[in-house]
Chains A and B, each alone.
Chain A
Amino acid sequence: MSKLAAKDIHFYYGDFEALKGITMEMTAHTVTAFIGPSGCGKSTFLRLFNRMNDLVDGSRMTGLLSMDGEDIYARNIQVDELRKKVGMVFQRPNPFPKSIFENVAYGLRVNGVKDSGFIASRVEASLRAAALWDEVKDKLRQSAFSLSGGQQQRLCIARALAIEPSVVLMDEPASALDPISTAKIEELIFELKKDYTIVIVTHNMQQAARVSDKTAFFYLGELIEYDDTKKIFLNPRVEATQNYITGRFG
């Protein structure tokens, strides 16, 4: 069964229809990349999966969005519980103005975990999973702002992993980083897919080609094409996809 499923999703910012009937499914332990020009709705779509768009005033959604077969917009769903299962990494590193340790521990603490031994072990495991442990193990009490941009982004990934979500959403996680940091994040995504279902929005074609198993191309609020990454990049069905990938517009 598919991990995430969207059925005929329409999304409106006020009168503006940002998503026009999207239907797609994502399987567990895969990396799905959303590509498309700016304003095509890919980030909006991504943020529906952890209901981050609930914060936007005057927005409205129709359609069915489910995880593990459960409607995540159902009335009985608690949004904060959902977000514990669906982690998110943002476009720009956004660590809290706290120590490195406290950043990673934050998710556990807001979930009411008090056992400091458990918190310490989760922090270490998450930092290891985010390939950051060796760089920060001696300065866990230092401010997160003392890290470089790439390290901060991996810290944000570690922070998302600490509460053991099953899905990780990444909204252009490497767009604000230098090439070396980007390479590290990409490596990390490859590692993480063993344990997590990953959805990544990216502007970078090569990145989508490198890290993802499946790719979805969005254009003007519509899902134009969704297939195996290889197929999309080598032999797309739709001409618009072809044009975008080869850089004729976007």
Chain B
Amino acid sequence: MKKAFKRFLERCTEGLLLLSGGTTSLAILLIVLFLFREGASFFKSPNIESGYVLAVHPENPVNHLSPEQIKRIFDSEIVRWDEVGGPAMDIELFRFSDMVQYVPEERLGADFEHVPAVVDSIVMAHPGMIAFYPEQFVAPEQQLKVFPEATIRPEDYFLGHDWQPTAHPAPQFGVIPLVLGTLWVSLFAVIFSLPFGVAVAVYLAEIASERIRKVFKPLIELLAGIPSVVYGFFGLVVIVPLIQKGFNLPVGETGLAGSIVLAIMALPTIITVAEDSMRTIPRSMKEASLALGATHWQTVYRVIIPCSISGITAAIVLGIGRAIGETMAVLMVTGNAAIIPHSLLEPVRTIPATIAAELGEAPKGGTHYEALFLLGCILFVITLVVSITVEIISSKQKSNLT
């Protein structure tokens, strides 16, 4: 009886463990699914501000313009139709707000009921005109050619060089500057922190006396617990002015500042993980090396570091993971200009910082909102690729070693 009860209890525990494991996996799966579902609907969004249409003279052969072209036309960077595959004509712009320059306001009618006809007549009078006006004023009797509703194409998003989600009339959702900004800042963060991290790990694992280790290790682990906004604050108050003065820049909020702050933040993880892996190397391995007449240093770089390479790679992955996903500190110190970085001394904007900064002002379900979710997907894929790559490299190294 007692035995049966015990077995029942064991079963219950097993069931509980299975349940918690299952729920966790399910939760993760749901999050990823949610992210991708929200992100995917971005490509169904119109490529101009929603609720508006673009229209041209019916004889104009142009039927479609990319968001970038629309923006450049309305910014007067493209001034001739032949630049976008149309006839050799100058482009004339017509925004809805320009209406009063063409006709007195009273002609529009008390309830704007004459607007469709007025727009039509203006466009018909100017063969090179492109009109941007609310879709509520599109009417069947109009002769002008309204562009068919076009969605944002993936290449506009993934290969676009311009991120201006609130641009008017066509918001720009080119992620290249954000992706490059993220990779740029993270890469340098790891380059800065890795040598330091491994050096400190070697010191703690091999050189420091037990007493020093007992003081240092908890201190370093404590660093991992400092909220990232505090790191950001530190960066803003200390590192940014230093960079500004040191490099004589107009502003100190640069990719370099972000990399340094991230490097400091990644250090505790890298040190802890690398040091742990070095300390788990069997003592016999170390003794074997020393017994062959190797000095302490030779032992460290010929045996201890190669043996703990998988731990060090794990440390790199965690460091990169932290750097790529870090939001707050980066948001505070990198200047957040969505431009393609050419040097570390320019402001950059990372993906997480963009999401954090813009999600609040993006209306739910709108194009901007979905674009931000898609950014989250990109971030997810980047971290996935990083960890898979490192996994492959470390397993290759391991198979070479063992």
A positions within 8 Å CB-CB of B? 50, 52, 55, 57, 80-81, 83-84, 87-88, 90, 92, 94-98, 106-107, 109-111, 143, 145, 156, 159-160, 163
Contacts and interface: CB of A to CB of B under 8 A. Distances in A.
A163 B284 contact: no
Contacts of A109: 302
Interface in B244-290: 282, 284-285, 287-290
A83 B285 contact: no
Most B CB atoms within 10 A — which of A50, A88, A94, A156? A94
B4 interface: no
Contact of B292 (A55, A57, A81, A107): A107
A110 B293 contact: yes
Interface string B211-249: 000000000000000000000000000000000000000
A98 B294 contact: no
A98 to B, nearest CB: 7
Contact of B282 (A94, A107, A159): A94
B28 interface: no
| Interface size classification for chain B | 20 to 34
Contacts of A94: 282, 284-285, 287-288
Contacts of A96: 285, 288-289, 303, 307
A152 B295 CA distance: 23
Nearest to B307: A97
Interface in B301-351: 302-303, 306-307
Interface of B: 210, 282, 284-285, 287-295, 298, 302-303, 306-307, 401-402
A133 to B, nearest CB: 20
Contact of B293 (A83, A97, A145): A83
Contact of A163 (B292, B298, B303, B307): B292
A103 to B, nearest CB: 9
Nearest to A91: B284
A87 B303 CA distance: 18
A208 B337 CA distance: 78
Listed residue (B288, B294, B298) with the most chain A CB atoms within 10 angstroms of its CB:
B288
Nearest to B293: A84
B291 A50 contact: yes
A11 to B, nearest CB: 18
21 contacts: A50-B291, A57-B210, A80-B290, A80-B295, A83-B291, A83-B293, A84-B292, A87-B292, A92-B284, A94-B287, A96-B288, A96-B289, A97-B401, A106-B292, A106-B294, A106-B302, A110-B292, A110-B302, A111-B293, A143-B402, A163-B293
